[in-house]
Structure 1
């Protein structure tokens, strides 16, 4: 490894460490990711010819410009998909589309609420995304459970269910979205082969946590009330089904048209935007301005988008200097090609460091095989396990996933409490899911 490559890796590792310690440094991880991205590419330009010895010296700079545009195009597909999906969810939520969630979860039994919340979160995160679903479910939880100790148990289960639900859907988790857009997993593949392992990874922790909850809630608890909306119930239902149904339609749109997934998201956003504008037409101007899509766009978390941009482009530098390929070869040789063990370790690592750059790195570490049925082929064991392990493994620590971080902030859950009470439970479910996937491959697929 050359000295310049060592410097590039050092900048990436320092940036990665600062991102992991965001709660300590108080510096937004998006800012660090952008600095890391520019720093790595700048170092590459110090001696670009060293990495492209086959090219004439006068064409290396032009080649790198083309390489950057290529990587930026790949990243943009993921970013536009996320921005569109986030906007759709914001439209549905701000116009009362999720009121049915509150009504569905109402019960006086503590264990019934646990199971309803677990399954509702699991399936919603597969349709929406685990971050948004976690926010919606925690807001509902606050109105249903007053006891703080009990609410923390429910909140922990929300994190587990959201991450497990996002793992089996091509649009449920950022890491699965990345793998799906890259084309290494297909909609049918993840739905049929990852669903049961993901379900097991949620059900087992739910069973264990259910022993901590007994009895019924006090009758005086604050039950949810429907939010005031300028739209009728029928209009809210139309908005909900257009938004959620549209997100479910995106994989179908990709299959039918062979267009990139973000085009399907833009189609759904355009339809939903048009419908809400029509609904707002006959309402008072003062009541509707704050909830029009043009105003809701300001609520989109652009810092998250910038973080993904910085991370994806920084990982691209490691690909260009052949670091990722070397790491992939090293892991394969160290574990004798045991993809269950390799992905199991990657899943544990995803609870310590952000799973987005981890998966982005794995996508560049291993080449896609053209041999049908091979572990590295499309929908092969390696890629499907990567989708499962990176998604579910992030639940082991509360800082290991976007869902965990947001719930940690909303409910003020401490790192120590989660590590002591929840981590081992998640690990049991995580291993059970991997075992379930192994049985599927041995007996069914």
Structure 2
């Protein structure tokens, strides 16, 4: 998280996200939710849900100024990032775990979960569109504010494109590097940060020390919201304690014994992943159900990938993307529960029903 947030901050310092924002014509907050949600969904499948959420929150800062509308847009980004990551082998940690473990294959997981993931995005997107109240007078003022952009020199425009391209390419290479080397993900992210750091130093090599300082990694790190990272660390430590003493495994076993329906069990696992991190829950499920009984691309693994990937959207602390956005946009737990969780739950249930219905028809 620290490496990804630093790369995103470096891109933002160079104004790299204006490459995207300058191509979005509308500033109507209701209409704006659609391209923001769609871009987040696509980026999370290509990058990962954490990196895409960080990128799109930085983009949104240049598009939406009203505080409440920014919060609603940030909530939509969390939902879209988790929905887009669920159907991609590199989009979410849990899907990656199932992919590396041999429970799912790339082509099958994409084809089976793409439509449910889209439904998981569209349902809350439609609901949240009606939650935003149009303010015509303020919007006109905002239009005037955004259309009067400052002049950018050709050199600054070049630096902007270079850092933007280098940052996104470096983040895209993280899951590829991990798959090839089998090293921990943080080593790939730190390598990506080093590469972007080198690019930033090279393009500002002719400037004096004071001017270069504003584009340095040290300056970017000073702007990172470290408390949100420590908060996420605390959650992982607490969950790690539960896992190490075997409580999570006991809960999973008792759930399997008391509920005689795999679909319901997996659905409950998805909801629980909003409270307890989805990684140990999926790891416990992978230990409970073996590949001999449930072979590769079995319904169990596909539905588990969907539920664990999208269930984290139900609470702001339910996913890495949610915790990162919470820190960047100062989202309160109670506000998210009141304004976003209900829409996220409708999308979660809608996508799950679509998957189960499609599976029943095709099998």
Change (3 A) 1:193 1:429: same
Aligned counterparts of 1:342 and 1:370: Cα–Cα separation in 2: 16
Q: Describe the superposition over 1:122-143 as per-residue Cα deviations: whole angstroms up to 9, x where unpaired.
A: 2234455545654554555455
* Structure 1: segments with no counterpart, 5+ residues: 1-81
Q: Which position in structure 2 is the counterpart of 1:161? A: 80
Aligned counterparts of 1:152 and 1:249: Cα–Cα separation in 2: 30
Aligned to 1:324, which of 248, 264, 275?
248
Q: Is the partner of 2:146 in helix, strand or coil?
A: coil
State yes or no: 1:112 paired with 2:36: no
Change (3 A) 1:365 1:439: closer
Change (3 A) 1:108 1:395: same
Aligned to 1:239, which of 158, 163, 166?
163
State yes or no: 1:268 paired with 2:154: no
Aligned to 2:124, which of 205, 210, 214?
205
Aligned counterparts of 2:7 and 2:61: Cα–Cα separation in 1: 24
Change (3 A) 1:149 1:193: same
Aligned to 2:141, which of 216, 220, 226?
220
Tell me the CA shift for residue 148 of structure 1: 5.5
Decide whether the 8 Å contact of 1:97 with 1:237 is kept in 2.
Answer: yes
Q: Which position in structure 2 is the counterpart of 1:65? A: none
Aligned counterparts of 1:121 and 1:378: Cα–Cα separation in 2: 29
Q: Describe the superposition over 1:31-65 as per-residue Cα deviations: whole angstroms up to 9, x where unpaired.
A: xxxxxxxxxxxxxxxxxxxxxxxxxxxxxxxxxxx
Aligned counterparts of 1:170 and 1:227: Cα–Cα separation in 2: 41
Q: Describe the superposition over 1:401-437 as per-residue Cα deviations: whole angstroms up to 9, x where unpaired.
A: 4555565676666666654554333222111211232
Change (3 A) 1:176 1:404: same
Tell me the CA shift for residue 152 of structure 1: 4.9
Q: Is the partner of 1:105 in helix, strand or coil?
A: coil
State yes or no: 1:281 paired with 2:199: no
Q: Which position in structure 2 is the counterpart of 1:391? A: 309
Higher RCO, 1 vs 2 (CA within 8 Å, ≥6 residues apart): 2
Tell me the CA shift for residue 247 of structure 1: 2.5
Q: Is the partner of 1:238 in helix, strand or coil?
A: helix
Decide whether the 8 Å contact of 1:315 with 1:361 is kept in 2.
Answer: no
Aligned counterparts of 1:134 and 1:201: Cα–Cα separation in 2: 16
Decide whether the 8 Å contact of 2:109 with 2:302 is kept in 1.
Answer: yes
Aligned counterparts of 1:417 and 1:294: Cα–Cα separation in 2: 33
State yes or no: 1:427 paired with 2:334: no
Tell me the CA shift for residue 238 of structure 1: 2.5
Q: Describe the superposition over 1:116-168 as per-residue Cα deviations: whole angstroms up to 9, x where unpaired.
A: 12112222344555456545545554554455565554343233223323333
**After the TM superposition, which residues 37-436 of structure 1 pair with which residues of structure 2 at under 5 Å, given as runs?**
82-128=1-47, 130=49, 133-134=52-53, 136-138=55-57, 140-141=59-60, 143-145=62-64, 150-173=69-92, 175-176=94-95, 190-212=109-131, 217=136, 218-221=139-142, 222-223=145-146, 225=149, 232-256=156-180, 261-297=185-221, 312=236, 315-316=239-240, 318-336=242-260, 338-351=261-274, 353=275, 355-356=276-277, 358-364=278-284, 366-367=286-287, 371=291, 374-375=293-294, 380-401=298-319, 403-404=321-322, 418-436=336-354
Decide whether the 8 Å contact of 1:153 with 1:209 is kept in 2.
Answer: yes
Change (3 A) 1:234 1:384: farther
Aligned counterparts of 1:211 and 1:307: Cα–Cα separation in 2: 32
Higher-Rg member (1/2): 1
Aligned counterparts of 1:388 and 1:205: Cα–Cα separation in 2: 16
Tell me the CA shift for residue 259 of structure 1: 5.2
Tell me the CA shift for residue 192 of structure 1: 4.0
* Structure 2: segments with no counterpart, 5+ residues: none
